[in-house]
Amino acid sequence: MKKIYLYGNWKMNMTVAETKKFFDGFESAYAPYKNDAGLEVGVFAPFTSLWALADCAKKAGIVFGAENVYSEASGAFTGEVSIPMLQEIGIKYVILGHSERRHIFNEPDEMIAKKVKAVLNANMIPVLCYGETLDERESGHTFDVMGRQLSTAIDGLNPDDVKKIIYAYEPVWAIGTGKSASSEQAQEVCGWSRNLLGIKDVVILYGGSVKASNAKELLSMQDIDGALVGGAALKPESFLDIYKAFKA
């Protein structure tokens, strides 16, 4: 049985108090799976909750990370957070290129590529999101768009570094909409991505309205190694029920 990566992106949710409360409930929900080598759980929180997340996640024995970072180490970049700042509090994983960064904050492919390189150079692990909008899918441009996003992000990297990245295919039209891609659509893109990256055992997640009711179908697909989960990751039960449903 393949290993499943279940990563939760809290987005701009969860204060320090809410983070601690989440972990109060997490322990019992996670207990049945704690020693399951077939599952890797991770949680990604806003900057202000990272200190609390690091503390709680270490105790729980799960992966934890940030939702963004800037590529420069220090300087005149008001409002940004650097890699050394994350490292100081023990952060190793960083989500990059989430569609909300790309589309609400207009982060271009080149900026995301710089971040990917900076994170890898710091021996950290990028969780690189990519995916098409509804317009792009409907006009037949899904694969051009994703080809551009992925190729720019890995341009100039050696194969070892390409393999260290965790990829998350997230069709923009499926994020936070309750409307997941079908398992066939998600498999098609994840399989295509694996070919484009040219590395068989690279980790590729699917994200976009994943919940217990669609988990089994999606996570059983050959080229889908796990899920990046938004809404359903805000509560320990709905988050872990995704894995429970896959196993059932």
Cβ atoms 93, 43 nearer than 8 A: no
- For residue 113, CA distances in Å to 95, 132, 148 come to 12, 17, 11
Determine, following the binding rule CB under 6 A, whether residue 91 of this chain makes contact with ligand PEP: no
| 27 tagged catalytic | no
- Closest approach of Cβ 127 to ligand PEP, in Å? 10
Give the residue with the Cβ less far from ligand PEP, 87 or 238: 238
Nearer to ligand PEP, 176 or 198 (CB): 176
207 binds ligand PEP (CB under 6 A): yes
Rounded to whole angstroms, the Cα distance separating 120 from 154 reads 11
Question: Looking at residue 208, what DSSP letter applies?
Answer: S
Instruction: Report the DSSP pairing between strands 125-130 and 203-207.
Output: unpaired
Is residue 236 involved in binding ligand PEP (CB under 6 A)?
Answer: no
Tokens, residue 94: 């960083």
Given the residues 18, 72, 170, 217, the one annotated as active site: 170
The token pair at 17 is: 């108090």
By CB under 6 A, residue 185 contacts ligand PEP = no
Amino acid at 7: Y
Beta carbon nearer to ligand PEP, 82 or 101: 101
Quick one: which of 5, 11, 149, 171 contacts ligand PEP (CB under 6 A)?
A: 11
- Asked if 103 touches ligand PEP (CB under 6 A), the answer is no
